[in-house]
């Protein structure tokens, strides 16, 4: 099996034993991205800013693989409070051109480093 690790300094370094992204054939699997700022290593802002930062991190990894947000087929969103669902949707939608990936959204008890949202993605050429 051939697979390539995709990484970029434009997204935060992994905080555990995983890769930012792994490409197998024409498919890219992007690990869950919490809203860590890659420059400061910190999480800040309300749920809207945290969603935007998570999506910026995904975009950086997708672009490092030579793809764009239009290549994303599926996302998974994890939130600590489903009351944030509308705000997350509004910020998330701004990263796509109206053709949205398949998606699931689930509420979880907690996320790493106190994040309020985590998003993963699968993209294909």
**pLDDT tens digits for 39-70?**
999 999 999 999 999 999 999 999 999 999 99
CA distances from 88 to 8, 29, 78 (A): 25, 21, 10
| pLDDT band with cut points at 50, 70 and 90 for residue 1 | confident
CATH number of the domain to which 14 belongs: 3.30.1330.40
Residue 113 has pLDDT above 80, yes or no: yes
- Asked if 53 and 91 touch (Cβ cutoff 8 Å), the reply is no
Alpha helices in the chain (DSSP H): 47-64, 85-93
Q: How many domains does the chain have?
A: 1
Helix (H) or strand (E) holding 122: strand 117-124
| pLDDT band with cut points at 50, 70 and 90 for residue 2 | confident
118 or 125, which is more confident: 118
Q: What is the DSSP letter of 43?
A: -
Model confidence, pTM: 0.97
* Residue 119, domain extent: 4-124
């Amino acid at each position: 099996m051939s697979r390539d690790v995709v990484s970029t300094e434009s997204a935060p370094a992994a905080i555990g034993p995983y890769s930012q992204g792994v490409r197998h054939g024409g498919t890219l699997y992007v690990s869950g991205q919490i809203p860590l700022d890659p420059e400061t290593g910190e999480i800040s802002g309300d749920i809207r800013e945290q969603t935007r930062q998570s999506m910026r991190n995904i975009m950086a990894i997708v672009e490092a693989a030579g793809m764009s947000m239009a290549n994303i087929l599926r996302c998974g969103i994890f939130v600590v409070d489903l009351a944030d669902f509308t705000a997350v949707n509004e910020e998330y939608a701004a990263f796509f051109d109206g053709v949205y990936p398949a998606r699931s959204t689930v509420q979880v008890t907690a996320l790493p480093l106190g994040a309020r949202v985590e998003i993963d993605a699968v993209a294909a050429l």
